[in-house]
Chains A and B, each alone.
Chain A
Amino acid sequence: MSVVTVQLGQCGNQVGQELFGIICSDAQEGQRKTYSAASCERFFHQTAHGDFVARAVLIDMEPKVINHSMTKAATSGRWRYGDTSHFSQKQGSGNNWANGYCVHGPRHREVVEELVRREVERCDRLAGLMAVMSVAGGTGSGVGTYVTQCLRDIYQKSFILNHLTWPYGTGEVIVQNYNSVLTLAHLYQLSDAILVHENDTVHRICSQLLNIKHISFSDVNRVIAHQLGSVLQPALTADSHGAYSRNPLGELVSTLACHPEYKLLNVCTIPQMPSSSIAYSTFSWPGLLKHLRQMLISNSKMEEGIDWQVRPPAGSEQTRSLTGASFNTSLANLLILRGKDVYSAETDGFEDPALYSSWLSSKEAFNLWKSPVPFNKYEKSATLVSNSQALLRPLDNMVGKAWNMFASRAYIHQYIKFGISEEDFLDSFTSLEQVVASYSQLC
């Protein structure tokens, strides 16, 4: 089954390009025929000449980024984007969600729908749609939300996953928290699951784990693509009976996003290190999993500075205590192990009921995918996708900052100009406060 990716805005088109790059080179590495075939079917179609063409649609309101991503893909020599699978305009959305959602989105609805439809028709079977974008700008956030809404209408039975890049805390777009609030509140009603990468976290991984001095967006995007790729590449699931699962998005959604109030998924991957060091390092599954588990429960998003003091609340007592405050409660977790000796890896630590909310048994709450094929040069690698309180604090911050700004009505006129009212803002705030409340009451 295949996934159709829709890349929107600058960030979406840059992250998407890195993602396809990593997926393609990973699939073509070494002799791994079935894995490779499953991956390709999922993300590429092959032309009569044997070219791998990404199952992707590229959307932006300005031409530069799309041109750049298409050129970069083509020069890889391994894969490319479809010659006619992109749509761009001349002038961006100016960091304004309302401009994207109310003006650009509706204006170009038909073209975009047609591009997606063509890509969908190329798939023998559609596993679902994935929209990739940032929440802070104007096009990815505004047009991305609008397009997600159109896709929801047309593909009512398909899975729709949104991959969102969250902004740096400061320094790029002043109205980023407004744009983020509007995007998230709307997507919460539309999307089956929302997979999040925070730029601050990924940036820290680049500097502290990968030792990169001058960090560029490409560096950040490679980390995102690595983590996302390790979720999306073929794996054996509990009931796929030794064959690669056919529906990555469907299984992801059904294992992790089982309740409409809880859709925010956080991803972490270990190990991550400079590629020059990989060859000299050895890893053991118990070591990796011990770290990853502690990262989960202490909510460290990176394998550095993990707080080893945090413990699950003792016994069956599940009420929130003061000491338990920094314990990160999960609703559901999906662990994906790739590489050597995966079958020997012990994952009991993740099945501990103390990790989970009381209303799902740990059997239902925990899922495990495995693949013996090493991923992206790492002999062993473990990725955890968790629906937990991991994103509660960043979400709460984002809503809080936007709310403070809204209290003085700063910048609102810029949105009203394009057709968004104060009421619309209030609705969005209300629905995100609901999400914040739901996650903080998770226990």
Chain B
Amino acid sequence: MTQSVVVQVGQCGNQVGCRFWDLALREHSHVNKKGLYDEALSSFFRNVDSRKGDGRTCGVGGRIQHLKARAVLVDMEEGVVNEILQGPLREVFDSTQLLTDVSGSGNNWAVGHMTYGSAYREQIVEKLRRAAEHCDCLQCFFLIHSMGGGTGSGLGTRVLSLLEEEFPEVCRIVTSIYPSAEDDVITSPYNSVLAMRELTEHADCVLPVENQSLVDIVSKIQHMSHGAKPGQVIRRDSAIISGRGGLSAAEKPFDAMNNIVANLLLSITSSARFEGSLNMDLNEIAMNLVPFPRLHYLVPSLTPLYTLADVSVPTRRLDQMFSDAFSKDHQLIRADPKRSLYLACALMVRGNVQVSDLRRNIERLRPSLPFVSWNQEGWKTGLCSVPPVGHSHSLLALANNTCVKPTFVELRERFTKLYRKKAHLHHYLHVEGMEQSCFSEAIASLGSLIEEYHHLDATKGTLMPDAPRLSISR
């Protein structure tokens, strides 16, 4: 079995990360009744025998002693991490996994990327190496951060390039939280565009999530659970929004939103953590979904979100889950994949679902989904036998789809609005290592990315002739 390491950077990164650890623990305690440290647990947790004191990891098969998350927590202020260390998850991390400063990045990408990036470079690398040394086969890094602030955005993307330098063979999957249009961080367009260039150049896959979508989903769920019609009852113990994970009690403002992101992470890692009849290895994600190196933005959608199925599932409900994954209101960014062009699509299913269910639903949905001409059969599927807690099955769809383009275009517009007025620019240009060219290169990189999606989009609906085959002279 392989292991993965989660790197959570900044306020948002750490808050989302902690929801993931909380729910992951709950999920494992639900499945693992014997209290033994098994392969499933070992993929994201170490088992440390505290009596030995040297922090060494115990092998798979023994009793669970102390579970430690395979994680590195980085923040340039102390608030969030301190809260974690006083909260119920404190046991899961030890001080050697943490890196904090006191003064924060002031929502300035340059401070995070340049100032802290240079100051903490050695320490970050050291912590990453240590986390890697605890793994006997490290397969993947999961980076979690927000795009709009300073630490997650700036330092987070610096960590990304360090990962590439230090561990070129280990896959880098980034979960990036994009700011909403009314974000309270005024400089968020700058930070996001500067971060985008790094993501485009250094990540293997990016899972973009928009805060606005999370807000919409959460309010719809709350609306439903209050005005509950029969058949639309949200089960209280459902992991989707309930903040009551394995450990934490009270809910904080972002918790409901972050739980959705945490569920995305639970799903994408489920195949690495549990058995299944059709395993989807983490390194298969990029291989199947990324046809061109820069076009690695995979739009996630999660089901069920609104109505939660009963334990015994009539087929219609199951099929509904597949339909929902392609509907607008289940996407974690504001986008409509059905009206754009698919380059490739993965369906990661959990629970009691058979290959024949997959095949039936793909056949059913395919006619309504436009795929690029050279990848008409661009489906990748995975089946994991363990469903999320409180569900009989769930589905995560990852779409490499040109529907990400409007989000990027909108971001560019917000950037341009500020940049034209040179608003706040001096805060950035003060920072050592930061130059005007960083801005122009970042916006050019985003521009060409948009252009690449645009070119593909333009092929939609046109019947491309088959490429003329090689002729063989006899």
A288 contacts chain B at the CB level, 8 A cutoff = no
Do B375 and A91 have beta carbons less than 8 Å apart?
A: no
Do B354 and A434 have beta carbons less than 8 Å apart?
A: no
Nearest CB to that of A429 among chain B residues? B470
Q: How far is the CA of A168 from the CA of B136 in the complex (A)?
A: 34
A310 contacts chain B at the CB level, 8 A cutoff = no
A414 contacts chain B at the CB level, 8 A cutoff = yes
Do A403 and B467 have beta carbons less than 8 Å apart?
A: yes
Do B472 and A437 have beta carbons less than 8 Å apart?
A: yes
Q: Which residues of B contact A407 (CB under 8 A)?
A: 374, 467
Do B277 and A174 have beta carbons less than 8 Å apart?
A: no
Q: How far is the CB of B369 from chain A (nearest CB, A)?
A: 12
Q: How far is the CA of A169 from the CA of B363 in the complex (A)?
A: 12
Do A63 and B344 have beta carbons less than 8 Å apart?
A: no
Q: Which residues of B contact A94 (CB under 8 A)?
A: 281, 283-284, 287
Q: Mark each residue of chain B from 94 to 120: 1 if its CB lies under 8 Å from any CB of chain A, else 0.
A: 000000000000000000000000000
A404 contacts chain B at the CB level, 8 A cutoff = yes
Q: Which residues of B contact A128 (CB under 8 A)?
A: none
Given contacts A413-B292, A413-B293, A405 and B379 within 8 Å (CB-CB): no
A430 contacts chain B at the CB level, 8 A cutoff = yes
- Contact partner of B374 (CB less than 8 A), chosen from A63, A215, A410, is A410
A interface residues, how many (CB within 8 angstroms): 43
Q: How far is the CA of A175 from the CA of B380 in the complex (A)?
A: 9
Q: How far is the CB of B442 from chain A (nearest CB, A)?
A: 23
A90 contacts chain B at the CB level, 8 A cutoff = yes
Q: How far is the CB of B44 from chain A (nearest CB, A)?
A: 15
Do A175 and B288 have beta carbons less than 8 Å apart?
A: yes
A400 contacts chain B at the CB level, 8 A cutoff = yes
Q: How far is the CB of B429 from chain A (nearest CB, A)?
A: 35
A282 contacts chain B at the CB level, 8 A cutoff = no
Do A430 and B1 have beta carbons less than 8 Å apart?
A: no
A281 contacts chain B at the CB level, 8 A cutoff = no
- Contact partner of B467 (CB less than 8 A), chosen from A213, A404, A413, is A404
Q: How far is the CA of A442 from the CA of B382 in the complex (A)?
A: 41
Given contacts A90-B1, A94-B287, A174-B288, A433 and B377 within 8 Å (CB-CB): no
B373 contacts chain A at the CB level, 8 A cutoff = yes
Nearest CB to that of A174 among chain B residues? B288
B223 contacts chain A at the CB level, 8 A cutoff = no
Q: Which residues of A contact B373 (CB under 8 A)?
A: 404
Q: How far is the CB of A437 from chain B (nearest CB, A)?
A: 5
Most buried by B among A63, A169, A399, A414: A414
> Shortest 7 CB-CB distances between A and B: which pairs?
A94-B283, A407-B467, A410-B291, A170-B377, A90-B137, A174-B288, A405-B374
Extra contacts, 17 of them, besides A91-B283, A169-B377, A173-B288 (Cβ < 8 A), are A90-B2, A90-B137, A91-B139, A92-B281, A171-B359, A171-B379, A214-B355, A216-B354, A217-B355, A403-B466, A404-B466, A405-B374, A407-B374, A410-B374, A411-B287, A414-B287, A433-B469
A-B contact pairs, 8 of them (CB 8 A): A92-B281, A94-B281, A96-B283, A172-B379, A174-B375, A174-B378, A213-B356, A430-B470
The residues of A with any CB-CB pair to B shorter than 8 Å are 62-64, 90-92, 94-96, 168-175, 213-217, 399-401, 403-411, 413-414, 426, 429-430, 433-434, 437, 441
